Structure 1
């Protein structure tokens, strides 16, 4: 039996593995009691770096005489918490951690505690926690909300935060920061390690995870080899438009999949994954049973089956979304295909790493453009990956809805003394500058609901007892809070089940309530790769049966439109700049040359030092096309800002369209865009004032407030089996929004809603940076006679809002025909 200092050596030697230098570095650091951040490529050996660090330091190997005892020795008490951002990762992580524990006969138990954990298993853990508990930020907060939390977690020695980059930039990460602050308060010697890949700001990531300092940063041995290539379409459309979903590339995709034993086909949306899965089956019926579908709205049983079948090498291909982005180890996967642009370098590298998922193996991702202009994004993505231009992720700053929830959780978890908890909370990086005024407001809010809710008992959630310890005095409110813990506001969803006369039909997954609301019984739709027909809706469950209809709707889920990242946008502009110099390097740019030459002949090409603008007079009115390459969120704010500033000079009304490359403004009345463009129009001065004036900021803030109200505990989503409808939840949050505006205008949750609109909906910081950047550029304005290849997608984007899909397709077909004729004649504008 090995000693605790050579566990890694013994296990690695049995497999003829040699530890990497970075793994040894982590083992040595943990042996000395140090915390830190490990940053290494996907599949490089990160998991065993931190796991054997924990085993080497904390595992107590009994003498071999213990092996002869008939009764198995009890497992060691809770020693390691392993935090995972996704429930889907938990089971696979448990299998990876269990292997060396079983092989080396270490008396450690490994357990899971997530939203999928059964009530029986939770009850067992309530009596005795396993030696290593794999859990999520939400489930960890639930543990901390136990009255005996401090005692139950008293033996904890180390925390591992897996895939830290996925938590760093959102409220779930803030929730985890608060949980870590509490555990550090209880145990100052606690060792904390973050494990991450694809991070562009490692120093910030380490600072947020270990705010008290003293941590170390460990870099993986070498950057993993990534091969990025592109499936180039046989023919290039000179006037592309978004929405094709790339099915013209189906024959080439089928050929690529046919040539490999196992592949993942990533799409950016769940709807797109449903369409591609069905298309592949129709193209290759013989692949039935060999290809599968995986996205987060499918049932857990379905997802578990797909993951295990992929791991066992039983599937030829899986069509998936970000549900398979992270950590799950699929060694048999040879290839990754990405349908459409990944929109970000980190996301593309993460997905590429699903193939060749082992140290020393090359990962390969093949990009499948869904329209012609995505070829330039594909070429740029290859450049950015080669240069490792990875996007930074920043921790949110002082979200008070998460703090309010945390206060009630801590009141449940044994209670708190405000002065002590204030210092503890300030130990979380997100709240490092929390003021006493902020703290007083938060305490008042959980005690009696603030200024406007004092009369309502449901908002007296926490009160001090005779000893000055703040607790939750009402058992009903305590139950409600425990059921509401969490900072993810999932899409308003409705369960799908097969219709059965006796009830109890098979669970299929979930879709958005708004999608089902648009259907009537008998309507068909596509889900889980099946054509289904709606039978009835009852108690937040949609009952369905198989359909033989030929036409079907496709569910739409929120979150489908990801903006182009700064890093990828810069790489795209670099490729345009090279094209302006006559350089068309690589198969993507050579294929795109006819489109770019038409763009240059009719107008110009955007470059790193010139802002391209186009003015057009058509039967619809006076158009402006502008190409800042800042992503659709920034372009929405910028378009609204420009429209408002121009309308202050003369009375005008504008229609707006945006995409990741640029924006279109259309006025039915004359506007001279050459005259309008001056220093004031694009000035960053008074940006905040003008942006808020240009938008329906109140409606945007109300939408953000719905999430804030739920997290802060103002709105209860209902009990298990009796959830409130989306309409009820929205109405409740809207009522609070109006009450606070009228009677409690200084309520900090209202201010937070406004701040989140600016930061997340409009990305005001990036908008300001964009204005500063384009003010340093030369304006390259062209008067054009017809839409250019860059402008045409913006026209389609605007028409999409007002036309049915059939009418839109017919209109586009006619427009493209006319434009192609003009391009073939070589007409210049």
Structure 2
């Protein structure tokens, strides 16, 4: 029993939940584990009270005792405030601090003199602390580590970075207790093993928290729809919902979409200026902090946000959450729903706002999947060598103790190999692979031996260390695995920073051009010292920046749920369903589109693969509907076009969305080439995928990120960053040098593997091919584009035509499709009069 925690709860009229007591008992017994519970149910105090009961007296052990790792800098201050609450009664001598990229230099200086007992930090800042000569002295006394929002870290390189840091802390303190927190994981046991190793304790929160998922239905969804088709129609209903709420969060999937919807809301309600705000990762931290403070205080009517507000920040005043467009995944939907009613016993509600008619079906499927607990799994990465290369330099800089317990720096190869192998990510790392990575940071591999700046670590007195101060400084400046396109600060001509935009967007602007950013229309003036200088725009409209990574794919779980609903609807439309077909309000709203699809073609079903064929002035269209998500469809479309071209030479144009893909052929496709067994064969898959794509270009693009994580490319010193063009040129040069003179370089192989596994999801592609090869092909010859085919046509035409030309083309397509659905004209017969 945790008596101090029980007393603290009782003083506030609270009663601890059973899962909180379970965590306290496990931590008191020195066990690590993972707590999986709904958002706002009390996870923070479950592990924090457990950490406090393990506390050592401050007088005997004045240093750092608890590390709290958060995936976002924005969460650090909010988390620190929550942790501070029970300290006056439970640990009055304790202090809680934060350390991240946003921590002021004065606070950093105070921490350098004396660290607090608990520190809220990020994976990058923790790795940076490991580079310090006093690393063992400062971190060796840590007895508890909490990794918040573990689901956000497990499947990326930041999660690997956390595993490596924890392995170092566990070597210094074998009794270290590690706990992960998550609300949205489909593979809890695997996620726990990835963080804690074998023998962890899984605690499942049992708090009954009401969750309401509904949809804002359009008045006229129509029989035909495409990406963004319903956007303007949904504006007034969204305004009405915000009006009825005290405080609302309006989530979008991209920063561009957030900028657009913020502008739309203010155009619809100019009187909301000052009480409707915008929040995304490219805005200046002071702007984001102002928005977060306004939300907490209940001073804002609504905030339009991206994933920057997805995680753990506690905004009690938020009553409603609206999701613009599909959330694309069950876990993301649940995470965003949890931003409302963020307290035990309060209802969480999320309202989906469809931007096209197919998203109505997706909304009903998402609710069904959420209620059934079909949440996506998150799987850790398998031994990324670029992260290992960075870590080998990081710990070569940092302090340690030798086998006799004497302070030292650096490491021995044997000790570090065992330490790295203790992590889940590197559990299969061979000594040969480790030795290659060590040789790479020692002398730059086979091709960089002549360049001293790539001789980063050296064997000094039997330990691997970094003897060069310049190399040490450059490494510390770019510790971390977050790699994005070079960003330029956006600054007012009169002074002050607004935020940052990717350099590629600014490079396309001319003086006087207007663009939308931070909820304002800005006029571009000039670029100077890697900053874009602007003034308030004189025009009402401007171009909206398009940030990288704009289109997220539909998850497997949500795609399966959508197909399940379509199966039921298809049977119902054929008159064979035992239950009413349109019981969900979303399906009732989508009925005209679904009936039109069944009339012109048929609805895609899981037991067969629908192939729609259409001949137009453009050529010969093939529409397939595998329902495997955008990323898989990109690789699948390229693969099918490659295999069709091998059968008979042809010219193809491709288009994909989350539901299907279009292959437009200049010449008719031989019917024999459409045999599913051959077309979807898994034989020679990797060779065909690499041949069908420009694999060299894809791997080179991926290598740019790997080169920056591995420290081959330096981003520049503070105040003098390198441009995106310089970084790309440097990484491309390394790529070509390694290909020609160091073909066995393992970072090249990693680039190819990452393209296959992460960009093309080749594992999911392989499973999709296996599924499709076993399905019968349902062929339908279309007279005009069907409701499912039209969005694929529009997707492709958007990249070819201007807005005006696209509208004209779209009007013709819609007229042709509506004509197919129109009933045949009734022919009137002339009455015959009897002869006289």
| TM bracket (short chain) | over 0.9
Q: 8 Å contact 2:222–2:592 — kept in the other structure?
A: no
The residue aligned with 2:323 is 338
CA distance in 2, matches of 1:599, 1:713: 53
Q: 8 Å contact 1:7–1:55 — kept in the other structure?
A: no
CA distance in 2, matches of 1:675, 1:113: 60
The residue aligned with 1:806 is 804
The residue aligned with 2:393 is 408
Q: 8 Å contact 1:262–1:332 — kept in the other structure?
A: yes
Q: What is the SS of the residue equivalent to 1:193?
A: strand
2:488 to 494, 499, 523: 494
Tell me: CA distance 1:674–1:626, structure 2 relative to 1, closer, same or farther (3 Å): farther
Deviation at 1:675, TM superposition (A): 5.3
Deviation at 1:673, TM superposition (A): 4.3
Deviation at 1:46, TM superposition (A): 0.2
The residue aligned with 2:680 is 682
Q: 8 Å contact 1:495–1:542 — kept in the other structure?
A: yes
2:48 to 51, 64, 83: 51
CA distance in 1, matches of 2:791, 2:668: 23
1:326 to 301, 305, 311: 311
Deviation at 1:224, TM superposition (A): 3.1
Cα shift readout 1:677-728 (whole Å, capped 9, x = no counterpart): 2411111111111111111000000010000000000000100000000000
Q: What is the SS of the residue equivalent to 1:679?
A: helix
CA distance in 2, matches of 1:207, 1:517: 46
The residue aligned with 2:32 is 35
1:142 to 122, 128, 141: 128
Q: 8 Å contact 2:611–2:624 — kept in the other structure?
A: yes
The residue aligned with 2:347 is 362
Deviation at 1:731, TM superposition (A): 0.3
More displaced 10-residue stretch of structure 1: 73-82 or 181-190: 73-82
Q: How does 1:94-113 map to 2 (within 5 A)?
A: 94-104=80-90, 106-113=92-99
1:767 to 754, 765, 768: 765
More displaced 10-residue stretch of structure 1: 530-539 or 401-410: 530-539
Tell me: CA distance 1:312–1:656, structure 2 relative to 1, closer, same or farther (3 Å): same
Q: What is the SS of the residue equivalent to 2:86?
A: helix
CA distance in 2, matches of 1:386, 1:678: 35
2:559 to 562, 565, 569: 569
Is 2:476 the partner of 1:478? no
Is 2:205 the partner of 1:220? yes
Deviation at 1:237, TM superposition (A): 2.3
Q: What is the SS of the residue equivalent to 1:751?
A: helix
Q: 8 Å contact 1:76–1:108 — kept in the other structure?
A: no
Q: 8 Å contact 1:624–1:673 — kept in the other structure?
A: no
Q: 8 Å contact 1:6–1:56 — kept in the other structure?
A: no
Q: 8 Å contact 2:334–2:370 — kept in the other structure?
A: yes
The residue aligned with 1:424 is 419
The residue aligned with 1:69 is none
Tell me: CA distance 1:595–1:674, structure 2 relative to 1, closer, same or farther (3 Å): farther
Q: What is the SS of the residue equivalent to 2:153?
A: helix
Deviation at 1:76, TM superposition (A): 4.0
Please report the TM-score for the alignment, with normalisation by the length of structure 1. Answer: 0.96
Q: What is the SS of the residue equivalent to 2:166?
A: helix
CA distance in 2, matches of 1:133, 1:656: 51
Q: 8 Å contact 2:487–2:500 — kept in the other structure?
A: yes
The residue aligned with 1:66 is none
CA distance in 1, matches of 2:533, 2:673: 59
CA distance in 2, matches of 1:25, 1:133: 24
The residue aligned with 2:828 is none
Q: How does 1:381-396 map to 2 (within 5 A)?
A: 381-396=366-381
The residue aligned with 1:68 is none
Is 2:65 the partner of 1:79? yes
Q: What is the SS of the residue equivalent to 1:581?
A: helix
The residue aligned with 2:405 is none
The residue aligned with 2:832 is none
Cα shift readout 1:108-127 (whole Å, capped 9, x = no counterpart): 01100000111221121111
CA distance in 2, matches of 1:780, 1:121: 66
- Give the unaligned 5+ runs of structure 2: 399-408, 573-580, 826-836
Deviation at 1:221, TM superposition (A): 1.5
Tell me: CA distance 1:253–1:468, structure 2 relative to 1, closer, same or farther (3 Å): same
Tell me: CA distance 1:105–1:403, structure 2 relative to 1, closer, same or farther (3 Å): closer
Deviation at 1:245, TM superposition (A): 7.0
Is 2:543 the partner of 1:553? yes
Q: What is the SS of the residue equivalent to 1:609?
A: coil
Deviation at 1:611, TM superposition (A): 1.0
The residue aligned with 1:793 is 791
Q: What is the SS of the residue equivalent to 2:103?
A: coil
Cα shift readout 1:609-649 (whole Å, capped 9, x = no counterpart): 11111111111111100000000111111111111111111
Deviation at 1:811, TM superposition (A): 1.9
Q: 8 Å contact 1:38–1:195 — kept in the other structure?
A: yes
Tell me: CA distance 1:674–1:289, structure 2 relative to 1, closer, same or farther (3 Å): farther
Number of residue pairs matched?
807
Is 2:363 the partner of 1:378? yes
1:697 to 695, 698, 702: 695
1:444 to 423, 428, 439: 439
Deviation at 1:440, TM superposition (A): 1.2
Q: How does 1:463-612 map to 2 (within 5 A)?
A: 463-465=458-460, 467-500=461-494, 505-582=495-572, 583-612=581-610
Deviation at 1:75, TM superposition (A): 9.4
Deviation at 1:103, TM superposition (A): 4.7
The residue aligned with 1:232 is 217
Deviation at 1:104, TM superposition (A): 4.3
Q: What is the SS of the residue equivalent to 2:533?
A: strand
Cα shift readout 1:588-626 (whole Å, capped 9, x = no counterpart): 111111111111111111112111111111111111000
1:162 to 130, 145, 148: 148
Deviation at 1:202, TM superposition (A): 0.5
CA distance in 2, matches of 1:357, 1:810: 48
CA distance in 2, matches of 1:100, 1:494: 42
CA distance in 1, matches of 2:360, 2:777: 26
- Give the unaligned 5+ runs of structure 1: 62-72
CA distance in 1, matches of 2:480, 2:527: 28
CA distance in 1, matches of 2:627, 2:365: 13
Deviation at 1:396, TM superposition (A): 0.5
Is 2:169 the partner of 1:172? no
Deviation at 1:59, TM superposition (A): 5.9
Deviation at 1:244, TM superposition (A): 3.8
Q: What is the SS of the residue equivalent to 2:677?
A: coil
CA distance in 1, matches of 2:213, 2:199: 38
Deviation at 1:481, TM superposition (A): 0.2
Deviation at 1:776, TM superposition (A): 2.6
Q: What is the SS of the residue equivalent to 2:250?
A: strand
The residue aligned with 2:118 is 132
Deviation at 1:801, TM superposition (A): 1.4
CA distance in 1, matches of 2:525, 2:432: 54
Q: What is the SS of the residue equivalent to 1:429?
A: coil
CA distance in 2, matches of 1:334, 1:673: 56
Q: How does 1:180-329 map to 2 (within 5 A)?
A: 180-211=166-197, 213-222=198-207, 224-244=209-229, 246-329=231-314
Deviation at 1:775, TM superposition (A): 2.1
Q: 8 Å contact 1:614–1:784 — kept in the other structure?
A: yes
Q: CA RMSD in A?
A: 1.4
CA distance in 2, matches of 1:743, 1:75: 54
Q: 8 Å contact 2:144–2:176 — kept in the other structure?
A: yes
CA distance in 1, matches of 2:208, 2:515: 44
Q: 8 Å contact 2:784–2:820 — kept in the other structure?
A: no
Q: 8 Å contact 2:67–2:146 — kept in the other structure?
A: yes
Q: 8 Å contact 1:77–1:130 — kept in the other structure?
A: yes
